[in-house]
Amino acid sequence: MIAALICVISVAALLQFFVSYSRSVIAAYRRSELSEQVREVAGIQDWELGGEQFSRLLQLVQLCPQKGDDQGDLAVVRAYYRMMGWLKAASRAFSTSVAQWAERERVNCTYFAAVALDRRIAYSRALLAQQMSQH
């Protein structure tokens, strides 16, 4: 019985740490402004992002060359996005405020993906400029 209690407390603590870490990663990217080029490439209209655009933006991110420093963050945010999707679906029946919060978190994840795309496009441009200057 004590072992089960310790296991439950450990999982709860791990989940709390995961949510806190994920939100801090997203908050760091939230400070970045999206360029007009990324909005055009990603098809973001009216300067609005929706939670449902996350997968498409992630696919665009995967098409760009990797800079190497955001792979871990992408994996964490992808898992957090899925968890928020599950929470939104599960809470829709009993708490609209929790479902709305989960949707806001999903939108934040989408913004994260857009900023990651922006950074990768800038990296691709820098690589292209470097190659052009060498020739």
Q: What is the pLDDT of residue 47?
A: 63
Burial, 3: exposed, middle or buried (Cβ in 10 Å; 0-12, 13-18, 19+)?
exposed
Residue type, 12: A
Give the model confidence (pLDDT) of 30-75 as tens digits.
Answer: 888 888 877 777 777 766 777 788 998 899 888 887 776 778 899 9
Q: Does 1 have pLDDT greater than 70? A: yes
Nearest to 106 by CA among 43, 54, 46, 47: 54
Give the model confidence (pLDDT) of 107-119 as tens digits: 999 999 999 988 8
When pLDDT is averaged across residues 6-32 and rounded to a whole number, the result is 93
Residue 77 banded pLDDT, cuts 50, 70, 90:
very high
Q: Determine the length of the chain.
A: 135
Would the CA dihedral through 83, 64, 117, 16 be positive or negative?
A: positive
Q: Which range among 17-26, 48-57, 113-122, 124-133 has the greatest average pLDDT? A: 17-26
The answer to whether the CB of 77 falls within 8 A of the CB of 109 is: yes
21 versus 72: the higher-pLDDT residue is: 21
DSSP-derived 3-state class of residue 94: coil
Whole-model pTM: value is 0.85
- Taking the alpha carbons at both ends of the chain, their separation in whole angstroms is 70
Q: What is the DSSP letter of 49?
A: -
Other CB atoms within a 10 A radius of the CB of residue 63 amount to 9
What pLDDT sits at residue 78?
95
Average pLDDT over residues 7-14: 94
What is the amino acid identity at position 46? Answer: D
